[in-house]
């Protein structure tokens, strides 16, 4: 496999590369660019953040779980490339010095590159932009002050005019969904790589050999979003930041959950198709999609079919997907916003959920006409609460009805105890979430960010 990319303004051509080699290892071991740090090596701490630019724009990405073939035709800036060729510092670097934004400095390169990317994109929601960068000694206040100070400064020319190389035609990197369908039908045992936010850990933490890999980033037609009066349709390769941007005006609670379920770096790489296809029982997207009645569009060669998202998950680690079949898109029917998504986790930002509940209940004349209630974290798959829904439908929308339906939760789920929560805690929390939904629709404030002491 041969790929071409730009690294800090210079063209790099790599031939016969290991497709599971990560950008972080390449930077540090092959190029001697030691500024990019290895911290957690799983995409949690942000010390390895780099700026990656393609024709759609610039993103901060975790280089530790970024495979080199994903960079074909793109431009990468590391902390060494944040400054100009003449040594002129980026405004972010100047501000970090002025506002004392670094002590030990281990996390600083990642912070700088997240801030450089946000600065280029004009993003000033600094708490959101930097939620994926951890600092253990400086404290966040001076870093945020540096980001605020740099925001008004112009983007340096060497950043704003980043050039892009021509992507190399490489094996196992299809350029369209048609090419992917043909290639995957011929190689049904190959591993599909979308954003690699999950598969990357199989290599860095599990030390697994992924075998033959097919990289999907070149399939531009799978990155499209179509919003009509009838549905919202996401191509499988739409990253989660773009999903959030599209869904937040229509279903704000869903959009807020996406903000919390991963960092800016992870959301910029993770795709909606990959998030569903990996079949995680604690994935935060599927319960929300199930509650909205979303459908999954699958393709195998020239054959296509679509199924309800809830029917895709058969059992733990088992999905309704044939050999050589891949997720092409997911569609959500347009509807009035009744959806609420509640995420319960030990950390507010970028943490795995102990329980995630999604509630979408339709009322008519004071009674429940339709109920779609789905959870993650309570079973081996994302799953609807069938007994709870049955106890709600046809009943008056009242606290008594909700309490009676919540009692049915134990008929739907037998959760496990693990490091995130006990079975009892999970079950009680799921009941409380249903009552929270009732009070939410009644107008009571439910945001933990608005709690005052």
Q: Which pLDDT score, from 0 to 100, does residue 279 have? A: 87
| Three-state SS letters, 356-408 | EEEEEEEEECCEEEEEEEEEECCCCCCEECHHHHHHHCCCECCHHHHHHHHCC
What is the pTM (predicted TM-score) of this model?
0.95
Q: Which pLDDT score, from 0 to 100, does residue 3 have? A: 95
- DSSP at 106: S
Q: Which pLDDT score, from 0 to 100, does residue 450 have? A: 63
Q: Which pLDDT score, from 0 to 100, does residue 444 have? A: 86
Q: Which pLDDT score, from 0 to 100, does residue 419 have? A: 87
Query: What's the CA gap between 118 and 128, in Å, rounded?
Result: 10
Q: Give the count of beta carbons closer than 10 Å to the beta carbon of residue 432.
A: 16
Query: What's the CA gap between 47 and 26, in Å, rounded?
Result: 16
Cα separations (Å) of 206 from 29, 200, 202, 424?
Answer: 20, 9, 5, 31
CATH class of 1-170: alpha beta
What stretches in the chain show pLDDT beneath 70? Answer: 448-453
Query: What's the CA gap between 299 and 237, in Å, rounded?
Result: 14
Written as six digits, the tokens of 412 are: 């739907």
Q: Which pLDDT score, from 0 to 100, does residue 79 have? A: 98
**Residue reference for tokens 């007994």:** 387
Q: Which pLDDT score, from 0 to 100, does residue 452 have? A: 55
Written as six digits, the tokens of 414 are: 């037998």
Residues 6+ apart with CB under 8 A from 152: none
Domain boundaries, the chain: 1-170, 224-448
Closest by Cα among 292, 254, 287 to 378: 287
Q: Which pLDDT score, from 0 to 100, does residue 1 have? A: 87
Angle ∠(59,273,278) on CA atoms, nearest 5: 105
CATH fit for domain 224-448, picks 3.40.190.10, 3.30.390.50, 1.10.3430.10, 3.55.50.30 = 3.30.390.50
Q: Describe the crossing of helices 108-121 and 140-151 by its angle, rounded to 10 degrees.
A: 30
Q: Describe the crossing of helices 423-441 and 399-406 by its angle, rounded to 10 degrees.
A: 160
């Amino acid at each position: 496999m041969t790929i071409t990319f730009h690294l800090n303004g210079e063209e790099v051509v790599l031939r016969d590369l290991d497709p599971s080699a990560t950008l972080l290892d390449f930077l540090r071991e092959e190029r001697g660019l030691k500024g990019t740090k290895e911290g957690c090596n799983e995409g949690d701490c942000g010390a390895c953040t780099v700026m990656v630019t393609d024709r759609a724009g610039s993103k901060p990405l975790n280089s530790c779980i970024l495979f080199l073939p994903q960079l074909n035709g793109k431009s990468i800036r590391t902390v060494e490339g944040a400054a100009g060729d003449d040594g002129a510092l980026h405004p972010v670097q100047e501000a970090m010095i002025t506002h004392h934004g670094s002590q030990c400095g281990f996390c600083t390169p990642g912070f700088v590159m997240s801030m450089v990317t946000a600065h280029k994109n004009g993003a000033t929601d600094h708490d959101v932009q930097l939620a994926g960068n951890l600092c253990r000694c400086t404290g966040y206040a001076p870093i945020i002050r540096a980001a605020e100070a740099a925001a008004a400064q112009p983007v340096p020319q060497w950043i704003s005019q980043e050039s892009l190389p021509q992507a190399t035609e490489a094996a196992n990197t299809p350029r369209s969904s048609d090419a992917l369908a043909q290639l995957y039908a011929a190689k049904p045992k190959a591993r599909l790589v979308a954003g690699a936010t999950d598969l990357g850990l199989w290599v860095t933490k599990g030390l697994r050999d992924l075998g033959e890999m097919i990289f999907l980033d070149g399939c531009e037609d799978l990155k499209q979003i179509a919003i009509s009066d009838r549905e919202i349709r996401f191509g499988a390769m739409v990253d989660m930041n773009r999903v959030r941007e599209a869904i937040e005006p229509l279903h704000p609670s869903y959009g807020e959950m996406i903000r919390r379920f991963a960092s800016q770096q992870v959301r910029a790489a993770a795709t909606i198709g990959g998030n569903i296809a990996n079949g995680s029982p604690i994935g935060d997207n599927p319960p929300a999609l199930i509650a909205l009645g979303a459908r999954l569009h699958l393709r195998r060669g020239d054959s296509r079919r679509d199924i309800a998202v809830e029917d895709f998950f058969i059992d733990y680690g088992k999905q309704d997907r044939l050999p050589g079949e891949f997720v092409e898109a997911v569609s959500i029917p347009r509807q009035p916003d009744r959806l609420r998504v509640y995420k319960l986790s030990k950390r507010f930002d970028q943490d795995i959920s102990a329980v995630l509940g999604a509630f979408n209940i339709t009322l008519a004349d004071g009674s429940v006409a339709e109920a779609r209630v789905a959870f993650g974290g309570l079973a081996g798959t994302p799953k609807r609460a069938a007994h709870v829904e049955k106890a709600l439908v046809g009943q008056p929308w009242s606290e008594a009805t909700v309490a009676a339906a919540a009692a049915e939760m134990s008929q739907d789920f037998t959760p496990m105890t693990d490091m995130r929560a006990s079975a009892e805690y999970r079950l009680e929390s799921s009941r409380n979430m249903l009552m929270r939904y009732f009070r939410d629709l009644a107008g009571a404030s439910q945001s933990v960010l608005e709690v005052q002491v």
